[in-house]
A and B are shown apart, each in its own frame.
Chain A
């Protein structure tokens, strides 16, 4: 009796079918495409090069249902998570669903749009760009989002317009009886010479299990500029698989900073694609994990034209038996001369059982380029600890300061004061958990 062995798909871990209830024809078309991709793409295993080091158990050992079937708790008062700088520039999504009541968008410059996708489905930019930027081959997660999303955030900044208020995209997740999935979506369109700052947050309000699969698409027209901070504070039982991608026209600048604090499993595949000459971009990361958390970043900096400056500083602190994976790909196409690309992965291991896998991957086909990369894995230096301690600081305080100093550089790139403060507190809390 021989049977064709079929590999599992993403749908194997989802209860019921993924069906769209989106009203917009455009969104439904993307849903349809996503479903087709999902059905034919096998779920990754450790045999796949890109998933070699990651334990996907926290997804494959579960079944995730639609939010409607999860009996999720209603959201309470979440004002402690509002950013004072963005009081009137905030979109709130609860378990992936837009919440108009908690959102607040006022006093934006003329013609700037900060709203939900469903309400803007007829907008030309949405029709033109939604779902066209994501580009992940053989992937199951971006198609899953494609198949399941019905709404999301839409930000549109017109030509020569600067939005000075940071735009806060706040995704919160509430407690629920069953493990559910959410597919947050963000489309950003920056017209020529526009500029803004985006703070995208994911916060688990309780300690429950859920699957968070966000897709963010950034279309950056000529000379546009974005500062994109992503702060992942999902529940420690959640799995979060992110697909953030940006495509850059001439002279565009896209600077992204991903901070990973939460989730049991975090997998992040940021991609920046150069679509014309002379662009600048950043793909920084800060990972602070402990317990049995797994954080895996697989990034691509894709240089396809001449004259790009790109920068990636990925800092990681690992405690207990947490596990960090970093795979940073730098692609430079044949005619993409004069590329100045810098990549550094610095790991601080605080425990014996912590694990770090790091792999820079440079594929360079042009000859006149400057690409540097490096990775270090270190521990807190005993001499540094003793030096501080000999000045009167307790051992705990000394260690805390040293971890703080390690993380500081990444935190200081946030540019929004309340976010920096919040992160510094998170760093202190993280180092205090170290107390045994």
Chain B
């Protein structure tokens, strides 16, 4: 589904390389986790895949269902089924959640020759989706993320994911800011959305999320690269020993640069 090959990316117009050769393959039905220290490039990877104009791909490629997407705008990628749950969801005063989601849902539907929903049909449709993560309907008529608590913002991202029903989702630190109850609810929601036709890449610092959403693959990102991949046990190892131990081990084995 997604294939990232030797991806290098810099800040647009500047000589700051952040991604330095990322390789990643995600198949339908899989759940991946990316862990790594602050500033290692996790969010940048997610943003570059979603088409953030702040970054420029200088080398390598991103294939989505076999098609190169690095030249596409963010909305075109969203139409193909890409979704990013932001680490820092943006507040947009004056535009309600519902307005955004209806516009987004119908734009994506149009792009894929699917039927659009009229306001009444859409009302029914999102009301149903509110249940996925136990969100109160008052959030629909509030301005996007404006005045939301940290946890509410994260929940809202997953709600949007439920409504837009993407093929491939990057969840960037969706767990941070959620208390334990909210984490359970959100995780259950994500598990309900996950199926054998879509895929999820979670970015997190904590194993606790992975206890609720079991990843098939865990990757460690350091210095703009995925330096190690493995199964769930890799997350446990990181939780127990930290990144420094991993880095030393890699150096000893001559695997680091």
Q: Is A401 an interface residue (CB 8 A)?
A: yes
CB-nearest residue of chain A to B110: A392
Q: Which of A285-304 contact B (CB under 8 A)?
A: none
Most B CB contacts (10 A, CB to CB) among A381, A384, A390 go to A390
Contact B94 A408 (CB under 8 A): yes
Q: How far is the CA of A414 from the CA of B54 in the complex (A)?
A: 39
Q: B99 on the interface (CB 8 Å rule)?
A: yes
Are A395 and B94 touching (Cβ within 8 A)?
no
Which A residues are in CB contact (< 8 Å) with B199?
Answer: none
Contact, CB under 8 Å: A392 / B79 = yes
Residue picked from A383, A392, A397, A409, most chain B C-beta under 10 Å: A392
**What 1/0 flags go to A373-409 for Cβ under 8 Å of B?**
0000000011110111111111101100110111011
A409 contact set on B, CB distance < 8 A:
94
- A-binding residues in B (CB < 8 A): 50-54, 73-75, 77-79, 83-84, 86, 89-90, 92-95, 99-101, 103-105, 107-108, 111, 143-144, 160, 164
Enumerate A151-187 residues with CB–CB distance to B below 8 Å: none
> 22 A-B pairs, CB-CB below 8 angstroms?
A382-B54, A387-B89, A387-B90, A387-B92, A388-B100, A389-B73, A389-B78, A390-B83, A391-B100, A391-B164, A392-B75, A392-B104, A392-B164, A393-B75, A395-B73, A395-B75, A397-B107, A398-B75, A402-B92, A405-B93, A405-B94, A409-B94
Given A382-B53, A386-B53, A387-B86, decide whether A392 and B93 contact each other with a Cβ distance below 8 A: no
- CA–CA, A286 to B15, complex, Å? 42
Q: Is the CB of A401 within 8 A of B73?
A: no
Residues A406 and B94 in contact, CB atoms below 8 Å apart:
yes
- Whole-angstrom distance between the alpha carbons of A405 and B94 in the complex? 4
Q: Are B78 and A392 touching (Cβ within 8 A)? A: yes
Q: How far is the CB of B148 from chain A (nearest CB, A)?
A: 14
Shortest C-beta distance, B109 to chain A (Å), equals 9
Interface centre among B84, B95, B143 (most CB of A within 10 A): B95
Q: Inter-chain contact count A-B, CB under 8 Å?
A: 79
Q: Which of B53, B86, B92 has the most CB of A within 10 A?
A: B92
B78 and A391 contact, CB distance less than 8 A: yes
Min distance, Cβ B68 to any Cβ of chain A, angstroms: 19
**Separation of A397 and B160 alpha carbons in the complex (Å):** 18
Most chain B CB within 10 A, of A386, A391, A395, is at A391
How many Å lie between the Cα of A220 and that of B184 in the bound state? 61
Apart from A386-B90, A392-B107, 14 more pairs, CB < 8 Å: A387-B90, A389-B73, A390-B77, A391-B78, A391-B101, A391-B160, A392-B79, A392-B103, A392-B104, A393-B100, A394-B73, A401-B95, A404-B94, A405-B93
Whether A392 touches B108, Cβ cut-off 8 Å, given contacts A382-B54, A401-B103, is yes
Q: Which residue of B lies closest to A405 (CB)?
A: B94
Interface residues of A in 347-397 (CB under 8 A from B): 381-384, 386-395, 397
When chains A and B are docked, how far (Å) is the Cα of A282 from the Cα of B29? 58
User: What is the minimal beta-carbon distance from B125 to any residue of chain A, in angstroms?
Assistant: 15
Min CB distance A276 to B, Å, is 37
**With A395-B73, A401-B103 in contact, is A390–B95 under 8 Å at CB?**
no
**A385 CB to nearest chain B CB (Å):** 9
**Chain A: interface residue total (CB-CB under 8 A):** 23
Inter-chain CA distance A401–B86, complex, in Å, is 20
Which of A382, A389, A397, A406 has the most chain B CB within a 10 Å cutoff? A389
Chain B min CB distance to A413 (Å): 14
Measuring CB to CB, which residues of chain A are less than 8 angstroms from any residue of chain B? 381-384, 386-395, 397-398, 401-402, 404-406, 408-409
Separation of A382 and B201 alpha carbons in the complex (Å): 25
- Asked whether, in the complex, the Cβ of B74 is within 8 Å of the Cβ of A401, the reply is no
A217→B170 CA distance, assembly (Å): 60
Point out the residues of chain B lying under 8 angstroms from A389, CB to CB: 51, 73-75, 78
Contacts of B143 in A (CB 8 A): 405
Q: Which residues of B contact A393 (CB under 8 A)?
A: 75, 100, 103-104, 107
Question: Known: A386-B53, A388-B100, A401-B99. Contact between A394 and B90, CB under 8 A?
Answer: no
CB distance from B167 to the nearest CB of A (A): 13
Chain A residues positioned under 8 Å from B94 (CB to CB): 402, 404-406, 408-409
In the complex, chain B residues whose CB is within 8 Å of the CB of A384: 90, 92
List chain A residues, Cβ under 8 A from B53. 382, 386
Nearest opposing residue in chain A for B111, CB measure:
A392
A89 smallest CB distance to B (angstroms): 32
Q: How long is the Cα–Cα vector from A409 to B83 in the complex, in angstroms?
A: 31
* Residue in A394, A401, A408 whose beta carbon sits within 8 Å of that of B75 in the complex: A394
Contacts of B111 in A (CB 8 A): 392
Which residues in A have their C-beta under 8 angstroms from that of B105?
A: 392
Pairwise interchain contact B104-A405, C-beta atoms closer than 8 A:
no
Q: How far is the CB of B17 from chain A (nearest CB, A)?
A: 21
Of listed A388, A404, A409, residue having the most chain B CB within 10 A: A388
Q: How far is the CA of A393 from the CA of B89 in the complex (A)?
A: 16
Least CB distance, A161 to chain B, in whole angstroms:
37
Q: Which residues of B have CB within 8 Å of A383?
A: 90
Q: Which residue of A lies closest to B86 (CB)?
A: A387
CB pair B104–A391 under 8 Å, yes or no, is yes
Cβ-defined contact, B86 with A405, below 8 A: no
Q: Find chain B residues with CB under 8 A from A392 CB.
A: 75, 78-79, 103-105, 107-108, 111, 164
Quick check: B52 and A386 within 8 Å, CB to CB?
Answer: yes
**Which A residues are CB-close (under 8 A) to B77?**
390
Contacts of A391 in B (CB 8 A): 78, 100-101, 104, 160, 164
- Closest residue of A by beta carbon distance from B108: A392
| Cβ-defined contact, B95 with A402, below 8 A | yes
| Closest chain B residue, CB of each to CB of A394 | B75
Residues of A close to B144: CB separation below 8 A = 387
Minimum C-beta distance from A68 to chain B (A): 48
Say yes or no: A394 contacts B107, CB within 8 Å: yes
Residues of A within 8 A of B93 (CB): 405
Cα A390 to Cα B143 in complex, Å, equals 17
